[in-house]
Amino acid sequence: MEHWGPFLQTLLWVGLIGGIAWRFHKPIQLLLEALTERIKSGSDVTAGPFSVKAMQSLSVPEQAARANQEIEEANALANSPALPAPDDEPVPASPTAVPPQATPTPTPQFRAQYFQAEDLALRAVQAEFGQPISRQVSAGPNQHFDGAFVHNNRMNIVEVKYVAKPPPRALLQQVLHRAQSYVLGNNLKSVNLILVAVVDRTSDVEATQKRFMAVADEAAIPTVVRVYALSELQAKFGIVDAG
């Protein structure tokens, strides 16, 4: 009988596992089908901090190239004339053609201010949502974003613009188009876009908010807008004393 004991135990375990599989085969099959469908459709399937569609960090040269491009854009905007309100109204042509003037090269101070604005804006978003943000991430060629994080089972893509003054609609549409192309082109589900602007003056917050919201309302994906004044971010995170 002592030789039959292990055999009977094994037989009982096999029977138990088989009985469970037979009893719950439909729920298990439905669960596997749901997971497969979600992965195929592009939804994030998360387990703790991990995601099936994890983004990769940009290399240092890629980060430098992207920063230089955005600094050039921000510097050109800072040195351009203020836009009329609303900015979608056509501007009457001037009777006398005025040649465009060369944009000054970004100064080291402007570059430092750009990096500070981006860093503090990401800190503010992180504090608001209570989730760590992966910075400078890539989802593929020409699909680079300032940050991404998961919150309430949704992927949130963060794009920050230091605009110094209310930006033109074309700039915002370009940012929106790039994010939408990634999300819709890959048939991703449960993805939000968080558009963040940092302006120099508190007086520009309201006008910038309106321009960002006007573009966000046209978005094909859920889009959240946040606008901060640089001085307020500096005070909030202890860069300068709060006045």
Domain identity same for 12 and 75: no
User: How far is Cα 117 from Cα 200, in angstroms, rounded to an integer?
Assistant: 9
Q: What angle do CA 77, 78, 79 make, to 5 degrees?
A: 90
Mean of the pLDDT values across residues 41-69?
65
Domain tally for the chain?
A: 2
pLDDT of residue 127: 96
At residue 130, φ and ψ (nearest 5 deg) are 70, 30
Average pLDDT of the chain?
Answer: 78
pLDDT band at 30, cuts 50/70/90?
low
- Could you read off the pLDDT of 97-156 as tens digits, one per residue? 444 456 788 899 999 999 999 999 999 999 999 999 999 988 877 788 999 999 988 889
CA-to-CA separations, 95 to 92, 99, 211, in angstroms, rounded: 9, 13, 29
pLDDT at 96: 45
> 129 and 37, same structural domain?
no
Q: Are residues 37 and 60 in the same domain?
A: no
Range of the domain at 197: 54-81+106-236
Q: Which whole number is the average pLDDT over 195-203?
A: 92
Specify whether 77 is located in the same domain as 163: yes
In a domain, 188, yes or no: yes
Asked if 58 and 112 sit in the same domain, the reply is: yes
**Can you give the CATH number for the domain in which 179 is found?**
3.40.1350
Same-domain check for residues 139 and 171: yes
pLDDT for residue 93 is more than 50: no
In-domain check, residue 20: yes
Please tell me the least confidently modeled range out of 9-13, 36-40, 137-141, 197-201.
36-40
Q: Is the residue at 46 inside a domain?
A: no
Residues 192 and 75 in one domain: yes
Percent of the chain with pLDDT over 70: 67
Q: Are residues 174 and 231 in the same domain?
A: yes
Which of the pair, 3 or 215, is modelled with greater confidence?
A: 215
* Same domain (yes/no): 131, 214: yes
What token pair was written down for 12? 């009982």
Residue 16 is predicted with a pLDDT of 62
Is pLDDT larger for residue 85 or for residue 61? 61
Q: Give pLDDT tens digits for 141-177.
A: 778 899 999 998 888 999 999 987 778 888 888 888 8
- The answer to whether residues 61 and 171 belong to one domain is yes
Flag whether 88 is in a domain: no
CA distance linking residue 69 with residue 65, whole number of Å: 6
Q: pTM score > 0.75 for this model?
A: no
Question: 198 lies in a domain?
Answer: yes
- Mean pLDDT, rounded, for 40-60: 54
pLDDT at 157 (0 to 100): 93
Pair 67, 179 in one domain = yes
Residue 147 Cα to chain centre, angstroms: 5
Question: Looking at the domain assignment, is residue 60 inside a domain?
Answer: yes
